[in-house]
Amino acid sequence: MSDTPRPDSLDVLTQVLRDFAAERDWDQFHSPKNLVMALSVEVAELMEHFQWLSVEEAAELPLEKQEAVRDELADVLLYLTRLSDKLGVDLVAASYDKIKKNAAKYPADKARGSMRKYTEL
């Protein structure tokens, strides 16, 4: 896929993924159920790189592990993007909407420096 243009937006990435799946006739397998299951697996693979590490070790991963983590992060984004496309969800708009909801639930003056859930603030 080296000749694929570098996506500079989520819309472009979404289209690249559509084309990638279509070229391989994979759309038949990309049901929301299958995509969310694959997403879950990729998140677990990402977590595996941090399992048993101290906070300090996790913050300073060796170069070879950084590359592996980078690949897993990409897998998570790719499956999430494909899932949102299948479900008709604009991820950018949904993310901004969620930030607004979180801002209302976690006012800065009450939540600053606290890890408590909004129901406990």
pLDDT of 44: 98
Domain ranges in the chain with CATH number 1.10.287.1080: 1-89
Within 8 A by CB and 6+ apart from 111, the residues are 118, 121
Q: What single-letter DSSP state applies at residue 87?
A: H
Chain center to CA of 54: 23
pLDDT of 8: 75
- The pTM of this model reads 0.87
Q: How far is residue 118 from each of residues 12, 73, 75, 105, 111, measured CA to CA in Å?
A: 36, 28, 31, 6, 8
pLDDT of 10: 93
Query: Which class does domain 1-89 fall in?
Result: mainly alpha
The per-residue DSSP string of 15-69 comes to HHHHHHHHHTT-GGG--HHHHHHHHHHHHHHHHHTTTT--HHHHHS--HHHHHHH
Read off the tokens for 65.
Answer: 């592990």
Please report, in tens digits, the pLDDT of each residue of the chain (121 residues total): 456 656 679 999 999 999 999 999 999 999 999 999 999 999 999 999 999 999 999 999 999 999 999 999 999 999 999 999 999 999 999 999 999 999 999 999 999 999 999 889 9
Go through the chain and tell me how many residues it has.
Answer: 121
